[in-house]
Structure 1
Amino acid sequence: MKAITYQGVKDIKISNVHDPKIEKRDDAIIKVTSTAICGSDLHLIHGLVPNMPKDFILGHETMGIVEEVGPEVTKIKKGDRVIVPFPVACGHCWYCEHDQYSLCDNSNPHGEVGGILGYSETYGGYAGGQAEYLRVPYANVGPLKVPDELTDEQVLFLTDVLPTSYWGNLIGGVKKGSTVTVFGCGPIGLMAQKFAWLLGAKRVIAVDYIGYRLEHAKKFNKVETINFEDYDNTGSYIKELTKGGTDVVIDCVGMDGKMTLAEMVETALLLQGGAMSAINMAAQAVRKGGTVALVGVYGMRYNAFPLGDFWSRGITLKMGQCPATAYVEHLLEWIKEGKIDSTDIITHKLRLDQGERAYEVFDRKEDNCIKVVLKP
């Protein structure tokens, strides 16, 4: 089959690889109909995530038709059309039983976090879904059957974008009357803004430095927008603008944000895990006693982390990989009811065999790119 594979830093290619096979009795094989490139996939190709072997198949936002199931699979059957949430989770450890699927104790022998499809050996070594076929481990846990009347584009982002952006609001404590700042106007940030309104926020501020994405946020999400390059200290500006800061700050940027020169050098020397600009801004943009939710991906340890700022202002920090599996059924109902629509973030649809160009456009933010969907 054809698949998008990692060859090295900023080097991917379309490869011919072996089709996946049933390896365990509760596996399933999915024939992929749609898959997407995630902003966190860029962390991989930028070399910010360790233990990426050559020829590793990328991708964790995937849906398709069930082609084959192992003898112990009862939740789905051949011919079902399913979305596959990105966490790989066993479904029966303490964390899975408490809806913390991204912390599964049994799916990743290489670390504390649970397994993730297509996201390096560090996250379990599971081949990803930017391919013609995908092996789904623990197929009684993750995959969710979706109705035929909904298009792939309507439901594909149940795999990651929708649950992650929703969860960011939940852990941030967004509720009726909340004021919210969202850092980042990529796919996760744009949808986090929509969910903030849905959960009752009275004011939502979007922060980025890419003009066309700020315009998209303003047009589709009706938010206030701030270009952080317009201010010497954006966090302090938001604090002043809101008379003390917003109740909640949601960081949808993570380690691949705009780096200072020092961060570039330290990251290259593996002394730092990428950018920390959004965290520094958040430390000032949130009100005293407020909450900062970090849903952008971070790695390693960070120098000059503003712990004293957070401590002195009584800030609550919430963070981690979203346990997406816990929210997909609820969000599917919202899609059916028309309460949430993520199709406006899709700017590019390309064939899977155009994957190299797709990554280039997405990474370089060419042609006003926000989200790329690939079709095998």
Structure 2
Amino acid sequence: MKAIVYNGKKNVDVENVEDPKIEKSDDIIIKVTSTAICGSDLHLIHGMIPNMPKGFRLGHETMGIVEEVGKDVVKVKKNDRVIIPFPVACGHCCYCEHGHFSQCDNSNPNGECGGIFGYSNTFGGYDGGQAEYLRVPYANVGPTIVPEELQDEKVLFLTDVLPTSYWGVDIGGVKRGDTVVVLGCGPIGLTAIKWCILRGANRIIAVDNVGYRLKHAASYKGVETVSFEDYDNTGEYIKEITSGGADVVLDCVGMDGKMTKLEKVETLLKLQGGSKSAIEIATQAVRKCGTVVLVGVYGARYNMFPLGDFFARNITLKMGQCPAQRYVDPILKLIKQGEFDATDIITHKLKLDEGKHAYEIFDKKLEDCIKVILKP
């Protein structure tokens, strides 16, 4: 079969690889009908996540048709159409039993965190879904059957984008009347804005430096936009225009934000885990006693982390990998009822064979690319 594989820093290719096989009795194999590139995939190809061997299959946003079923699988059957949440979770450890699926104790023998599809050996070494077929372990936990009447584009983002953005808004405690700052207007940031609107936030300020992404954010009713290129201190500017700062700041950027020259050197030397520019904006943009949620992916350790700024102002920090399985059913209900639709963020639909080009335009922000859907 064909799959998109990592072949070194900023180098991905579509290659012929071995077909997946049932390995355990609760595995399934799906024939992929749609998959997508995530912003966090860029952390992989930029060399910011360790233990990425050449030839590793990428992708953690995947859906398709069940082709093969292990003998102990009872949740789905052959020919079911399913979405696959990105965390690999056993369903019966203490973390899974409490809904913390992304911290499963049994899905990742290589670290303290849970497993993730297509996200390096650090996160379990599971093959990714940017491929024609995908092996899905623990199939009585993750896969969710989706209605035939909903096209792939309506439900594909249940795998990551929608649960992750919803989770950030949820744990941030966004409520009616709040002022919210969303850092980053990629797929996660844009859908987080839509969740904030649905929750009744009074004022939403979207921050980025890419013109077409800011334009898209501004298309949502009532959303203000700020380019961080326009200000010496974006956080202080936001504090000024909000008379003290936002109730909640959602960092949807992570470690792949714009780096200073020093951060570039430190990251290259493995002395720094990537950019912390978004965190520094959040430090100033949040009001006293407010909440900052790190939704974007961060790695390794950070020098000069502004912990004192947060501490002095009684800021609540929340962060981590979204336990996506917890949110799939309630979000699917909203989609079925027509109350939430994220298809507006899709700018490109390409064939899997065009995977190398897809990564290039997504990474370099060419062709006004926001979200790429790939069809095997």
Partner of 2:191: 191
Distance in 2 (alpha carbons) for counterparts of 1:111 and 1:288: 35
Q: State how 1:225-374 maps to structure 2 within 5 Å.
A: 225-374=225-374
Q: What is the CA distance between 1:115 and its match in structure 2? A: 0.2
Partner of 2:148: 148
Q: Which residue of 2 aligns with 1:23?
A: 23
Q: 1:162 to 1:50 in 2, by over 3 A?
A: same
Equivalent residue of 1:207, what SS? strand
SS at match of 1:272: coil
Give 1:48-197 correspondences, 5 Å limit.
48-197=48-197
Q: Once superposed, which parts of structure 1, at least 4 consecutive aligned residues long, lie more than 2 Å away?
A: none
TM-score by length of 2: 0.99
Q: Give the Å deviation of 1:220.
A: 3.3
User: 2: distance between equivalents of 1:205 and 1:170?
Assistant: 18
CA distance in structure 2 between the aligned counterparts of 1:341 and 1:265, rounded to whole angstroms: 41
Write out per-residue CA displacement over residues 332-367 of structure 1, whole angstroms, 9 at most, x where no aligned residue.
000011111110000000000000000011011000
How far does the alpha carbon of each residue in 1:35-84 deviate from its partner, in whole angstroms, 9 at most, with x for none? 00000000000000000011000000000000011001000000000000
Is the Cα–Cα contact under 8 Å of residues 193 and 221 in structure 1 kept in the other structure? Answer: no
1:224-244 CA-to-partner distances (Å, cap 9, x unmatched) read 000001000000000011000
Gaps in structure 2 of 5+ consecutive residues: none
> What is the CA distance between 1:222 and its match in structure 2?
3.7
- SS of corresponding position for 1:50: coil
- Structure 2 counterpart of 1:52, which letter? M
Mapped to 1, the partners of 2:222 and 2:164 lie a distance apart of: 21
Q: How many residues align?
A: 376
CA distance in 1, matches of 2:162, 2:267: 30
Aligned-pair CA distance for 1:158: 0.3
Aligned equivalents of 2:337, 2:210: Cα separation in 1:
32
Q: d(CA) in 2 for partners of 1:370 and 1:23?
A: 36
Structure 1 partner of 2:201: 201
Distance in structure 2 (CA, Å) of the matches to 1:339 and 1:234? 34
Between 304-313 and 174-183, the greater mean CA deviation after superposition: 174-183
CA separation in 1, counterparts of 2:283 and 2:111? 28
Listed as ranges, the matches of 1:202-217 within 5 Å are 202-217=202-217
Match of 1:8 in 2: 8
Tell which deviates more after alignment, 215-224 or 233-242.
Answer: 215-224
Q: CA deviation at 1:178?
A: 1.3
SS across alignment from 1:212: helix
Contact 1:194–1:221 under 8 Å retained in 2:
no
Distance 2:2 2:335 in 1: 31
Equivalent residues of 1:190, 1:221 under 8 A apart: no
TM-aligned CA distance change 1:267 to 1:221, over 3 Å: farther
TM-score w.r.t. the length of structure 1 is 0.99
Give distance in 2, aligned partners of 1:10 and 1:311.
Answer: 38
Kept in 1: contact 2:180–2:205 (CA 8 A): yes
Any idea what SS the aligned residue of 2:83 has? strand
Contact 2:289-2:314 at 8 Å conserved across structures: yes
Q: Take 1:360 and 1:172, find their aligned partners in 2: how far apart are those partners?
A: 33
Distance 2:80 2:202 in 1: 41
In structure 1, distance between residues paired with 2:59 and 2:211 = 27
Contact 2:89 2:104 (8 Å CA) reproduced: yes
Deviation, 1:94, is 0.7
Displacement of 1:221 after TM fit?
Answer: 5.1
Structure 2 counterparts to residues 32-47 of structure 1, below 5 A: 32-47=32-47
Task: Name the Cα RMSD after superposition.
Answer: 0.6
Of all paired residues, the percent bearing the same amino acid is: 72
Given that 2:203 and 2:222 are in contact with CA atoms closer than 8 Å, whether structure 1 keeps it comes out as: no
Show CA shifts across 1:84-126 (max 9, x none).
0000000001110111000100101111210000000000000
